[in-house]
Amino acid sequence: MISLEDWALIRHLYRSEGLSQRAIARQLGIARDTVAAAVASDGPPKYERASAPSAINEVEPRIRALLTAYPTMPATVIAERVGWTGSISWFRERVRAIRPEYLPADPVDRLEHPQGRVVQCDLWFPAPKIPVGFDQETMLPVLVMVAAFSRFIAAVMLPSRQTMDLVAGMWQLLSQNFTAIPHELWWDNEAGIGRRGRLTESVTALMGTLGSRLVQLKPYDPESKGMVERANRYLETSFLPGRFFISPQDFNSQLDQWLRTANARRVRVLDGRPVDFIDADRAHMLALPPVPPVVQSVSSVRLGRDYYVRVAGNDYSVDPGAIGQLVEVTTTLAQVTVARGGRLLAAHDRCWAARQTLTDPAHVAAAAALRQQFQTGQPPTAGDHLVRDLADYDRAFGVEFTTGTATSDGEVA
C-alpha cells in the first residue's frame, strides 16, 4: 500500500510539475498502476482492516434482548446471563457502546441565572478525617454555597448535618461572605432541610426571617445545581491535595484563605473573576434582615442529680444548685450554654467529638459542698424555712386562747 507521503508527492508531481504518470513512476521507482491509482483517488490512502468474526457477535442479540427489558442492568450481570467467558473489560466496552440505544433520553437544559437570584447549596464530605480532640478523628460535612451568577464560592465546615447546624451555617455564610440574601436558595433533598416537599420548621423560620425562598430540587437531578457540584470537585482536586489539618478550626482557617484565592481566579464562562462580579450579584439581592434569625438550638430539660445535660451525644456539667429544676440549654456551632431565669449556669465550648464528658471544676466543687451539707444534716440558713404564727392553729381548732373555751364543731381542720 502506498504511503501518505508518496501519495502527496505523486499528486504534486502530476498536478503542479506536469509530469506524466510514466515519468513519475520512473523517477520514484514505483509501479505505474500505483501512480495511476494515486492520481485517480479523491482522498488520501488509509488502511482498512477486513473485519473478522468476533465471539461477542454471537451473544450480541441476547445482550440487546436483555437491554431491551432491563436498560440499566450491569454489564457483569449481562455477562453472566449470556454465558460470556472472555475478557470482561472488552465485554464492558461493547455493552457501554450498545446501552445508549436502549436508555430513555434525559436532555438537560442550560439555565440562565439573573443577578442576585440564586445561590446553590450542597454538603461536601472531604475524604480525610479531621482530628476533633479526645484522640478521635471523624469525617465532617462542609456546607458549600455558590452564587449562580457570579460563581462566588463560600464554604464552612460544620459539626453535623443536623437542621440547626445547617441553619447556622447558612446564616454565617450569607451574613459574613455574601453580606446579602439571594431571592432563592437551591438545595437537594437533604434530610436536615426537608423531605417530601416539606421544609423543617427551623428552615421555614429562617426563610421567613430572610424574606427568601428555599427550593428543593427533584431527586436524581444533580445538573440543576451543577455549579455547586463543580465547586465540590474543585475543592476536592485543588484545595485538599497536600494539606493537613489539626482541627475543624484549622480546616476552616485554611479553607477561608484558599477561597480568597479561588474567587480571584478567572472563570472562563464569565471571562473574569468571581470577586469582580459579586458586587453586581449583591446589588440585586435582598438586604440582611434588621433582626438576625434564630440559628441556635434551644431546649428545656430538668436537671438530674448528676448535674449534666446531653447535647449531640456529649455530656456537659451544670451548676448543681439547679438540680431538679427546668433549665434552658442553648447550642450554637461553637458553644453550649445552660441558663435558668436569665442566670447563666454553664458555658462550654462545643465538643465535636462523640461520647465525651465536659466538666467545669467549679461545678464539681459546688456539688461537693452541697453533698457535704446534705450528709451532715446542717441546718438551713435563716430565711430558708417557713415560720407560721401559732395563733393560726388556735383559730383552726376553734380555741379562744384568752378564755380557754372551744368553739369547734368537732371537725379537725
Residue 406 lies in a domain: no
The reply to whether 161 and 271 lie within a common domain is yes
Q: Report the CATH number that the domain containing residue 130 is assigned in CATH.
A: 3.30.420.10
**Could you tell me the pLDDT band of residue 413, with boundaries at 50, 70 and 90?**
very low
Going by their DSSP bridges, the two strands 194-195 and 153-157 should be labelled as unpaired
- Are residue 348 and residue 371 in the same domain, yes or no? yes
Residue 176 lies in a domain: yes
- 388: in domain: no
In a domain, 18, yes or no: yes
In-domain check, residue 327: yes
Statement: the pTM of the whole predicted model exceeds 0.75? no
More confident residue, 224 or 179: 179
Same domain, 273 and 134: yes
Q: Are strands 118-124 and 184-187 parallel, antiparallel or unpaired?
A: parallel
- At 6 the pLDDT is 86
* Domain C-terminal end among 283, 316, 336: 283
Give which of 393, 185, 169 is closest to 295, Cα–Cα.
Answer: 169
Averaged confidence pLDDT in the chain: 89
Angle ∠(30,35,41) on CA atoms, nearest 5: 145
Residues 209 and 304 in one domain: no
Q: Considering all CA atoms of the chain, what is the largest pairwise distance in Å, rounded to the nearest integer?
A: 161
Beta-sheet pairing, 198-199 with 194-195: antiparallel
Residue 370 lies in a domain: yes
394-408 residue pLDDT tens = 666 666 655 555 554
Tell whether 255 and 146 lie within a shared domain.
yes
Q: What pLDDT score was predicted for residue 298?
A: 94
Number of neighbours of residue 293 by Cβ within 10 angstroms: 19
At residue 135, φ and ψ (nearest 5 deg) are: 60, 30
Q: Is residue 251 located within the same domain as residue 324?
A: no
Question: Which helix (H) or strand (E) element contains residue 142?
Answer: strand 142-147
Is the confidence at residue 59, as pLDDT, over 60?
yes
Indicate the number of domains in the chain.
4
pLDDT at 412 over 50: no
Range of the domain at 83: 55-101
User: Which of these, 149, 99, 163, 164, lies nearest to 119 by C-alpha position?
Assistant: 149
Grid-cell match 393560726, residue found: 392
Same domain, 20 and 59: no
- How many CB atoms sit inside 10 A of residue 138's CB? 13
Say yes or no to pLDDT of 64 above 50: yes
Within a domain: 384: no
| Residue 355 burial (10 A CB sphere; 0-12, 13-18, 19+) | exposed
Average pLDDT score over residue span 102-127: 87
pLDDT in tens, 348-373: 999 999 999 999 999 999 999 999 99
- Residue 389 covered by a domain: no
Residue 209 pLDDT > 90, yes or no?
Answer: yes
